[in-house]
Structure formats: structure tokens, C-alpha cells
Homo-oligomer: A and B are copies of this chain.
Amino acid sequence: MNLLLLEPQEVTAEGCVTLADRRHHHLRTVLNSAPGDTLKVGMLGGNIGSATLKETTPERSILSDLVCTRPPPAKLPLTLILALPRPKAARRICRTAAELGIEKLILLNSYRVEKSYWQSPLVQTERIASYFLEGLEQAGDTVLPELIVENRFKPFVEDRLPALLEGKRALLAHPYGDAIPTEAITEPTVLAVGPEGGFIPYEVEKLLLAGMQTMSLGERILRVESAVPTLLAKLFP
């Protein structure tokens, strides 16, 4: 946690904030903060800045002198379409995506996504939002990525994807695709990443029909967890 995220309604008229949740525990047990310490804070959806730890007891911590005037780091102009990962991997992948600064995440069904994954409590929207928060706290960002859940492949790809791709660069990560574009992409981009094992040929065909173009990371086949940061780093150097 490199940034303590606060919500606007937590701030009193005097600019104080009382914490009693995991942020309070983090201050005490990980940061070992003492009264008088300056803390890096951010307003959820807003600016970043600092606050002073005024008082801390086992029950609560009180921050004062809250000043948030600097904008958070810029986002990557990227919508990531991701086949729903294994629930246990979803936390890390969603956290990493927020950490790296994506704007929007679309979780999509695919033939190789086990049906049971959709029922897991670990991939419900509130949980995904908590993974995003962890990523923002790590990266020093304040703005949650937008989350869209599409649990049916065909209606999404046929009815909604073409409009989403309009005016954007649209890439499908695929082991047997073209080489990765060598010029840096600064234009808004949509990137689709399949499940472990990849999208099946029918799905690839549908995604290409909707306007996507395949790209490959080369000879090595990477886990989704390694592929996402690698793709983002190569696309936005």
C-alpha cells in the first residue's frame, strides 16, 4: 500500500479522517506509523497528496491536515477484454491490471472458461472492485477502472464489440498471430486476451469479424498473468 485511499464522505469539515478498518491496521502493523508522520493519501476518484497522522490507538487512527492537489498518474488508453480467469488467479490479474493503469476491464465468457468460475464468490463485482483498489493503492492511483461483465460470448462480440472498437486500435493476443506492432501505440486501444489454452478457432474468427487484428508475443507461450503486463509494456513503451 503506497497510497492510503480515502473517500470524500470520510472527510470532516475540519479536514480530518478517522480510520478503523484495514487501512488503520496497515498504518499500525505494516508502516508502524507514529503521530506526526506524513502519509501519502489519495481521494478515491480524485487527487493525491498528503495527510498527517494526528492520533493512533489500537481502535482507530485519525488523520488531519489533508491536502490533495496533484492529479493521479495518467491511465493507459486501454480497454482490456479478458476471458474470465480461474477465480484464484483473478485477484492477481485484476489487481495487476489496475496497478498498470488500464481504463476499462471487460470480463468475457469463452468456451475454455469453466462454467463454475462464474459462480465463484471470488469473481463477483464487489470482489473485483476490491482487487482494483489493491492495485490502485500499490501504484499510487485513485481512479478505479470501469468493470463490465459479459458472461455470454456471442451477443457481446456480435452486438456490442463492433461499436466499442470504432475509432480504436483493436488487438487480439494470439500465439499464432502477427508479430507485435513495433511502433508505440498512443491511440485508444482495445486488447483481448483469451483464457489459458486460448480462444477456440470459432471465437477467434468472431473476434476478427468484429474488427480485431491478431498479434503475437513470439515463440514463448505465456500464462495470462505474465502475458498481461508483458503486452501492456510492449504496447505502451
Contacts and interface: CB of A to CB of B under 8 A. Distances in A.
Interface of A: 2, 73-74, 92, 96, 99-101, 138-141, 182, 218-223, 225-226, 229-234, 237
Given A73-B219, A73-B220, A101-B220, A226 B96 contact: yes
Contacts of A182: 237
A91 B99 CA distance: 21
B73 A223 contact: no
Contacts of A221: 2, 138-140
A237 B223 CA distance: 18
A141 B223 contact: no
A121 to B, nearest CB: 21
Given A2-B221, A74-B219, A226-B229, 9 more contacts: A73-B219, A92-B92, A96-B225, A100-B226, A138-B223, A139-B220, A140-B221, A182-B237, A229-B233
Contacts of A92: 92, 225
Residue among A73, A218, A222 with max Cβ neighbours from chain B (10 Å): A222
Nearest to A221: B2
10 A-B pairs closest in CB distance: A233-B233, A139-B220, A73-B219, A229-B229, A230-B233, A229-B230, A96-B226, A2-B221, A233-B234, A226-B229
A183 to B, nearest CB: 11
Contacts of A220: 73, 99-101, 139-141
B223 A96 contact: yes
Contacts of A231: 233
A182 B226 CA distance: 22
8 contacts: A96-B223, A99-B222, A139-B221, A140-B219, A141-B220, A229-B233, A230-B232, A231-B233
